Amino acid sequence: MKDSIMHLVRSNIATLEPYQSARRIGGNGHTWLNANECPISSPFTTNITSFNRYPESQPKNLISSYANYVHLANNQILATRGADEGIELLIKAFCDPGEDSIICCPPTYDMYAINASILNVQVKEIPTLKETWKIDLENIQRNLNKVKLIYICNPNNPTGNLISKKDIINLLKITLGLTLVVIDEAYIEFSSKYSMVNFLQYYPHLIILRTLSKAFSLAGIRCGFTLANKEIISILNKVISPYPISTIVADIATQALSEIAIKKMKSRVLKLNCNRDWLIDELKKISLVKKIFNSHANYILVKFHMYKKIFQKLWEKGIILRNQHHKINLKKCLRISIGSDSECLRLIEEIKILSNI
Cβ–Cβ < 8 Å for 174, 197: no
pTM score of the predicted model: 0.95
DSSP state of 55: P
Region of residue 74 (phi > 0: left; psi between -120 and 50: alpha; otherwise: beta): alpha
User: What percent of the chain has a predicted confidence (pLDDT) above 70?
Assistant: 97
Alpha carbon 302 to its chain's center: 19
- Give the mean pLDDT of 274-289: 97
Listed range (32-46, 228-242, 251-265) with the worst mean pLDDT: 32-46
Cβ–Cβ < 8 Å for 47, 235: no
Domains located in the chain, CATH noted? 2-39+261-355 (3.90.1150.10), 60-259 (3.40.640.10)
- The DSSP H or E segment spanning 102 is strand 101-104
Q: What is the mean pLDDT of the chain?
A: 95
Spatial CA neighbour of 303 closest among 321, 325, 318, 280: 325
pLDDT at 74 over 80: yes
Cβ–Cβ < 8 Å for 103, 150: yes
pLDDT tens digits, 319-352? 999 999 999 999 999 999 999 999 999 999 999 9
**Cα–Cα distances in angstroms (integers) from residue 36 to residues 22, 39, 300, 307, 310, in the given order:** 9, 9, 10, 20, 19
Alpha carbon 47 to its chain's center: 31
- Under the banding of pLDDT at 50, 70 and 90, the label for residue 115 is very high
pLDDT tens digits, 169-198? 999 999 999 999 999 999 999 999 999 999
What is the secondary structure of 296-348 as a DSSP string? Answer: SSSEEEEEETTHHHHHHHHHHTTEE-EE-TTSTT-TTEEEEE---HHHHHHHH
Q: How far apart are CA 325 and CA 223, in angstroms?
A: 30
